[in-house]
Amino acid sequence: MHCEACARKVVKALKGFQGVEEVSADSKGSKVVVKGKEADPMKVVERLQKKSGKKVEFISPLPKPQQEEQGKKEEPPKKEEPLQPPQENKDQAK
């Protein structure tokens, strides 16, 4: 997208698409943000390629911090014990 008209065209192409709840386009950054819990990302990409005739790249969102914290909580905490040198047995020294 290089202009506002292109951005509007992209938004219009995705507005009524199945599962899409919100669409925002940034013509300066050449990015489109599509939000929707039921939207199939691959179908959105296919639709944009078909309507625009341009290459479309899918960039997945980063996982939320909550999900990362939950993954850490599932692992049991590891106990760290200081290492001690082996003690000599006085009976073995003889």
> For residues 89 and 94, what is the distance between their CA atoms, to the nearest angstrom?
10
The confidence band for 72, taking pLDDT boundaries of 50, 70 and 90, is: low
- In tens, the pLDDT along 2-17 reads 788 888 888 888 888 8
Q: What phi and psi, each to the nearest 5 degrees, are found at residue 33?
A: -110, 125
pLDDT above 70: residue 76: no
With helix as H, strand as E and coil as C, how does 14-54 read?
A: HHCCCCCCEEEEECCCCEEEEECCCCCHHHHHHHHHHHHCC
- The overall average pLDDT reported for the chain is 76
pTM of the model: 0.56
- For the chain, what is the radius of gyration of the CA atoms? 28
> Could you give the domains of the chain?
4-58 (3.30.70.100)
